Structure 1
Amino acid sequence: MTRLLALIALAPALALSACSAPPAETDPAPRLARVETVRGAESASMREFVGRVEPRLSVDLAFQVGGRLSAFPVMEGQIVPEGTVIAQLDSTDFARAVRQAEVQRQQASQNLERQRILHERGIASDAALEQAQTEHDLQSVSLETARQNLRYATVNAPFQGLVSRRLVDNFTTVAAGQPVARLQDMSELRVAIQIPESIVAVVDQSQPADIHARFPFLPGQTFPLTFRELSAEPEPASRTYTAMFALPGDLPGNILPGMTATVMVSLDSLTGNAEPALVRAPAGALSAAPDGGFRVYIFDADAGIVREREVEVGPVGGDSVVIRHGLEPGEQIVTSGVSALYDGMRIRPMEGRNGLPAGR
């Protein structure tokens, strides 16, 4: 009887509990995420290369005949005009050969004249006259060769240039073709840099390029460079291509071949891309989009959520990447753990790289 009365008393409470609504589900806690502000990348397309100063032309001068040096009047570092005597061989033997050839040709000329007279009188045969003519021609060639060898005993400067190096000492016996001095054409100095194939593949040589050089001994000064040539074959070891640029003619310092320079190249101008990069963002902010592109997550500080946005990616440099389209300087993006995010997800910013709360 007591149990029945207790059940009757609990019935109204059970009915009220059955009619009440289920408790509401609580929203998940915001995800902790690193948020950073993207910065402008006005100079993001600038690259620096180590360059080497080169002359317009460098020639190793040599004799075309062998002999012993008798005169070597030029000094290293000397600027010589075109036609200047660089070195001379002892010409005694060459002069003797010229005199011998002159005597032999004179004899051949006298014999030829005698055979003509005899042929006209019907005494000498046609064969004898032809033989005399042939001997005269051969002696003429020998004389021309002897005189040419005498001229070859002197090396003259083929152009105005700098004697950068004497490769032998005076009184040395040299062979034909052995270099004795190096002459450099200083009428136009150039800077050579090594460019990777990834840049060479998109170079537009018809576009004026924004390229400058600076030297460590001329601080605060930059000099515009003019494109001259690009090698068609890469270096075997580095697989890079040599590009040559001309320096201006009014350089203030004593710039010499072999000096190093820092060459600053605008990739946008080199490749003919007129549209500059807009912003630079950490590479960790990118995630793959379904269409094969890239996207980032923009942080909406007022709503406390992130929004997906597709972006166009440009050159990558180190741990950052150029964003050509899709972002503006000053916007805030999530820079780590983006694979776990989705559009509209609530996040709580953590401290950024600058040590301050992100989004402030």
Structure 2
Amino acid sequence: MRTLKELVKDRKTLAWMIIAGLALGVLVFRIAFPQRKAPAVSVSAIRAEKGLPVTILVAESRALDIRRSYYGQVRSARIQEVTAFLREIVDSVRVEVGDRVRAGEILAVLSGGEQAAAAAADRASVEEARKDVERMKVLFREGAVSRAELDQSVVRLKGLEASLSASSSRSARTVVRAKIDGVVTERHAEAGEIAEPGRVLLVVQDTAELEIEVLLPQADRLYIVGGTDVEVPLEDRIVRGSVKRLDPAADPRTGLFRAIIAMPPDRALLPGSTVEARILVKRSLGGVVLPSGIVQREGDESFVYVVSGDVVQRRVVSLGEGADGLIEIRSGLKPGETIVAEGSSALYDGARVWIQEDGPASGEATP
């Protein structure tokens, strides 16, 4: 008779044999009867069942700003051109291009030896004339001189004082000072050079008050007035300014009108740099405005696809002005109507559409 241990061992062996037999049976079944894959659904079948995939938007009324771009140079609204008043030798120049200066600060010194000597001589003459007037007053009171002689000495004193004022002014001009707060943008003088009368030695510009000069054609000049809004695009932002003044007459050589645009101070607006100025020339109010890519064109016609239920209607529209990727619809479309935004390349009048809710549609189905 078998022991208990042998019986348990035989049962385990039997169990493993049953499991192996079942696995072998499943394998043979799958080989004999392979699982069939569901047939692939074609794009055309999906379109036939659901329609052409599109995205939509609702037409809305909004204002559209029409701007024209012009290019001009940035400059300071306040500029000091430092010039030589007399023919003098440049003794020293105390600033460099890019230096910030304050009003009253010394920029350059001219030799001014002759002017200083002339002022000193006039000063001595004035002192002598003043003493002479005092002496004449004493003599007049004593009756030694007449009123005419006293008046003559006073007139002489006044003439010498005027001469001293002029020579002192010429001498003071040999010390050249800044009249405004600003930045030195030009330097045309070096120590030892001769400064001729009227020669520009230095240029100082006040960068706290900037402006841009642009030239306008007559067609746009009619729409632009003082205070008109202006956008100046920079690398990372837009700075806003306004038209400060307009020339009433065109330049006879070019036929263009000069416009001056007032700008706020900005680190990126540097005097002498060329920038784009987008001037508002027209603002349309209350019309339907669409992204210009939505409007389709065929020959001389412009049209959009209006959605009604699950079909579209080809609608001819009349276009107005366009700007910044938007275009005004003057007629043919009302606010609140639903139109195809993307996916219109394969559409036709009366086509059935499948409105996509999760993302932009292309011209092809994405099953």
Q: Please indicate the TM-score interval, normalised by the length of the shorter structure.
A: 0.5 to 0.7
Per-residue CA deviation, residues 262-304 of structure 1 (Å, 9 max, x unaligned), is 23344334xxx54457467779738xxxxxxxxx99999xxxx
Per-residue CA deviation, residues 60-114 of structure 1 (Å, 9 max, x unaligned), is 1123333211111111121112211111111322221122112212222232233
Which residue of 128, 148, 156 maps to 1:135? 156
Per-residue CA deviation, residues 285-325 of structure 1 (Å, 9 max, x unaligned), is 38xxxxxxxxx99999xxxxx9999x6x74589xxx97653
Which residue of 232, 244, 247 maps to 2:248? 232
Q: Is the 8 A contact 2:289 2:327 kept in 1?
A: yes
2:182 is aligned to 161
Q: Is the 8 A contact 2:65 2:282 kept in 1?
A: no
Residue 274 of structure 2 is aligned to residue 260 of structure 1: yes
TM-score normalised per structure 2: 0.61
Evaluate the alpha carbon distance shift between residue 265 and residue 134 of structure 1 in structure 2; reply closer, same or farther with a 3 A threshold. closer
Evaluate the alpha carbon distance shift between residue 102 and residue 42 of structure 1 in structure 2; reply closer, same or farther with a 3 A threshold. closer
Which residue of 214, 232, 246 maps to 1:213? 232
| Partners of 2:155 and 2:298 in 1: CA distance | 85
Amino acid at match of 1:175: E
Query: Equivalent residue of 2:282, what SS?
Result: helix
2:330 is aligned to 325
| Partners of 2:173 and 2:274 in 1: CA distance | 37
Residue 258 of structure 2 is aligned to residue 242 of structure 1: yes
Structure 2 residues without counterparts, runs of 5 or longer: 1-58, 307-313, 352-367
| Partners of 1:162 and 1:278 in 2: CA distance | 46
| Partners of 2:140 and 2:182 in 1: CA distance | 59
Amino acid at match of 1:232: P
Residue 238 of structure 2 is aligned to residue 222 of structure 1: yes
Per-residue CA deviation, residues 186-216 of structure 1 (Å, 9 max, x unaligned), is 0133333322221221225466x3x32223x
Evaluate the alpha carbon distance shift between residue 246 and residue 128 of structure 1 in structure 2; reply closer, same or farther with a 3 A threshold. closer
Evaluate the alpha carbon distance shift between residue 106 and residue 205 of structure 1 in structure 2; reply closer, same or farther with a 3 A threshold. closer
Query: What's the RMSD between the two structures over aligned residues?
Result: 4.0
1:88 is aligned to 109
Which residue of 55, 67, 76 maps to 2:76? 55
**More deviation, 117-126/193-202:** 117-126
Per-residue CA deviation, residues 236-277 of structure 1 (Å, 9 max, x unaligned), is 44322233334444x4x54311222223344334xxx54457
1:195 is aligned to 216
Structure 1 residues without counterparts, runs of 5 or longer: 1-38, 287-295, 301-305, 333-353
| Partners of 1:140 and 1:179 in 2: CA distance | 31
Query: Equivalent residue of 2:68, what SS?
Result: strand
2:92 is aligned to 71
| Partners of 1:67 and 1:283 in 2: CA distance | 75
Evaluate the alpha carbon distance shift between residue 42 and residue 69 of structure 1 in structure 2; reply closer, same or farther with a 3 A threshold. same
Q: How does 1:254-293 map to 2 (within 5 A)?
A: 254-269=268-283, 273-275=284-286, 278=289, 285=300
Residue 172 of structure 1 and its aligned partner are, at CA, apart by 2.1
Evaluate the alpha carbon distance shift between residue 277 and residue 177 of structure 1 in structure 2; reply closer, same or farther with a 3 A threshold. farther
TM-score normalised per structure 1: 0.62
Percent identity between the aligned chains? Answer: 17
